[in-house]
Structure 1
């Protein structure tokens, strides 16, 4: 072999060795990454849960000790389903309104059966075996086989109600119901324009406004899929947001009900300013803003000679969810269910009772976009972040390995 050929052979061997070393490193990284995402085998006497341990990483499935020492005002729930809400997604990325202390089990909207009942809970009529839904908005812990909840945060679920429907309902619908009843006193003579964006709360508001209050609803949505869901809820008109066409489209729809004055001259400018407070969310807001669950807002009312138009739904983030931010000659009121519960717990409880009654009677139909097993939790988080669907994502806690199933309702 010539010296040139020898040097080429040595270089080739070195490059080949480097390639194998690099390939081995990549292979090891892939194995390590897969190992992190592989769920452990269940252990007797322990529960499985999805833990958020690092804001930059995925949720991790671990075997944990079951919650013990149930207090008098608490219950222990054997979790069947847990809704994965947008706040869970934001919390997992440390983008929410507060920073959670890690590690934490996310998930707060839970459906399951009681397996342990505190003495105070028992006095309030709860017993082992009851099917319940919990809104653990301050405690979380729902992405686990068992979780604790206080009696002020649980409701009995009638046996005729499907568990997935129950898991898809209470949080969004209580928020929408209280906002529509307490902030605008909506009735069947109203036309209400609801800016859906990608908000499940706004979709619930369409369902309630149309099928409970019998108002006429126009939906404005971020996507065609969202507009289709709004129509299925009963909106008599549903539009995908288009900046230059929206006002004209609304004017044409309103004309069918002889609502005209709000579009003329000064009134027209007034209505445009009101509308922009909601639709600006499409121009300026980030996904973080769109996914916030405390940016549901309502314009108290807008009167014209021919009728009343209410605007509600997703809006730019309110700095103080209970103060009225003045916008010219009108006010927009933000609404946050967690804060409202602290101020008016009785109204909060009553609203939950009413929503479950509406669901039992078939008046409302909650929207669920995806059902997936607990071990595929990170796929569900990605779905929320990327797909911008206003329907609920529900985690099947019992059927842990279940692949994602898209739901159309």
Structure 2
């Protein structure tokens, strides 16, 4: 890789974690010299944990906003009565994680913190008041941060048991992408069998989840829109009836032609800018458009006359707010997609798997728009 390209990357390769150095030993070019060192020599968090008789665990930490993450060894926090300690197998990488590490996410976090909002893993330990899960249970979990680590402590209500037929890899994809997709289609758009759905950013994690659910669970017809031909082709292989490359030509005219002039009943829009306007114009009479994000970076304004002329409904979906305001519905969304996965109705698409040591490369992979489907981080 050229130095010019490397300089443009958001995060350079992850620095190698330094070994733990015992007191009284100096390291010189990788060799122990036996020369005494002052007692003020800095000890890592894991070293301190070891001195206290506690074990440590690896975590990717944001120690400074808009800088590379670093691997650190952290002492395990004590469990509260209602909490569960989970050995994380995989952490789903969301664009919100990247925004949080840049200081640009709506929920601000002060460094140092460990990013990661969703995970799959195995229960290691439970608090004294925990009854929903037991040690050894395979679970998925949702948390604001902390999941990009070998261990994660969460409230028991934020865990859902993984069915035996579902792998840890597939399960790690479900909470955010499929949970959001279920809420967008079922709760907000109230999609009906036989209706036609337009989904933008159709090759992304949530876009493919919407295609999967709409086509295979809700029995709807799906038109996927994406920014390249390969991404459109992927969307079609995952269940879309048609793919439209909105980087060339008119999305509005393509949708009109594909629907015989009728247009679509529902649009799930995640790009913003001109793509949002084209999706709005592609709605049929009494159509519904659900705003899911602004991947293109431009937040659009809604022309109210378009809502009026076709009796169109415009709404948003934000998975995290349901977690706060209507937790039973949020939990139903995740339980539902777990059941669909168990029944073989849906098939999550994993675009790439990175090791925890490669977390900065994973961030770059997403930022450079190289990813399709879900990117997950492995703790193995």
TM-score category, normalised to shorter length: 0.7 to 0.9
| Matched-pair contact (CA < 8 Å) for 1:193–1:312 | no
Q: Is residue 363 of structure 2 the alignment partner of residue 354 of structure 1? A: no
Alpha-carbon separation, structure 1, partners of 2:197 and 2:14: 48
Equivalent position of 2:273 in the other structure: 281
Q: Cα offset for 1:337?
A: 0.9
Q: Deviations over 1:203-225 (max 9, x none)?
A: 21111000101100101112333
1:46 to 53, 56, 59: 56
Alpha-carbon separation, structure 1, partners of 2:236 and 2:75: 46
C-alpha change, 1:118 and 1:370, in structure 2 (3 Å) is same
| Matched-pair contact (CA < 8 Å) for 1:53–1:59 | yes
Q: Give the secondary structure class of the aligned counterpart of 1:62.
A: strand
Q: Give the secondary structure class of the aligned counterpart of 1:209.
A: helix
Aligned ranges 1:249-260 → 2 under 5 Å: 249-255=254-260, 260=261
Q: Is residue 140 of structure 2 the alignment partner of residue 133 of structure 1? A: yes
Q: Is residue 171 of structure 2 the alignment partner of residue 166 of structure 1? A: yes
Equivalent position of 2:375 in the other structure: 393
* Cα RMSD for the two superposed structures: 3.2
TM-score of the two chains, using structure 1 as the length reference: 0.72
Q: Cα offset for 1:248?
A: 2.5
Structure 1: 5+ residue stretches without partners: 1-32, 264-270, 286-297, 399-409
| Matched-pair contact (CA < 8 Å) for 1:369–1:391 | yes
Q: Give the secondary structure class of the aligned counterpart of 1:116.
A: strand
| Matched-pair contact (CA < 8 Å) for 1:195–1:221 | yes
Q: Deviations over 1:46-89 (max 9, x none)?
A: 11111100113211111111122x11221000111111211111
C-alpha change, 1:313 and 1:99, in structure 2 (3 Å) is closer
Q: Give the secondary structure class of the aligned counterpart of 2:98.
A: helix
Question: Which moved further from structure 2: 104-113 or 86-95?
Answer: 86-95
More helix by share: 1
Q: Deviations over 1:334-381 (max 9, x none)?
A: 111111122211111111111001011111111211111111111111
| Matched-pair contact (CA < 8 Å) for 1:67–1:146 | no
Alpha-carbon separation, structure 2, partners of 1:96 and 1:338: 12
Q: Cα offset for 1:278?
A: 6.9
C-alpha change, 1:302 and 1:379, in structure 2 (3 Å) is closer
Count of aligned positions: 327
Q: Deviations over 1:11-44 (max 9, x none)?
A: xxxxxxxxxxxxxxxxxxxxxx999710244866
Alpha-carbon separation, structure 1, partners of 2:236 and 2:56: 45
Alpha-carbon separation, structure 1, partners of 2:185 and 2:240: 16
Q: Give the secondary structure class of the aligned counterpart of 1:357.
A: helix
Equivalent position of 2:37 in the other structure: none
Alpha-carbon separation, structure 1, partners of 2:14 and 2:371: 28
C-alpha change, 1:352 and 1:57, in structure 2 (3 Å) is same
2:15 to 13, 33, 37: 37
2:154 to 149, 156, 161: 149
| Matched-pair contact (CA < 8 Å) for 2:198–2:268 | no
| Matched-pair contact (CA < 8 Å) for 1:49–1:64 | yes
Q: Cα offset for 1:245?
A: 3.0
| Matched-pair contact (CA < 8 Å) for 1:218–1:235 | yes
Alpha-carbon separation, structure 1, partners of 2:87 and 2:269: 43
Equivalent position of 2:67 in the other structure: 57
Question: Which moved further from structure 2: 276-285 or 367-376?
Answer: 276-285
| Matched-pair contact (CA < 8 Å) for 1:82–1:167 | yes
| Matched-pair contact (CA < 8 Å) for 1:195–1:314 | no
Alpha-carbon separation, structure 2, partners of 1:105 and 1:303: 44
TM-score of the two chains, using structure 2 as the length reference: 0.77
Alpha-carbon separation, structure 1, partners of 2:274 and 2:12: 37
Q: Cα offset for 1:119?
A: 2.8
Aligned ranges 1:69-84 → 2 under 5 Å: 70-84=79-93
Equivalent position of 1:110 in the other structure: 119
Structure 2: 5+ residue stretches without partners: 1-10, 21-45
Equivalent position of 1:15 in the other structure: none
Aligned ranges 1:105-254 → 2 under 5 Å: 105-122=114-131, 124=132, 126-136=133-143, 138=144, 140-196=145-201, 199-242=204-247, 244-254=249-259
| Matched-pair contact (CA < 8 Å) for 2:90–2:121 | yes
| Matched-pair contact (CA < 8 Å) for 1:165–1:366 | yes
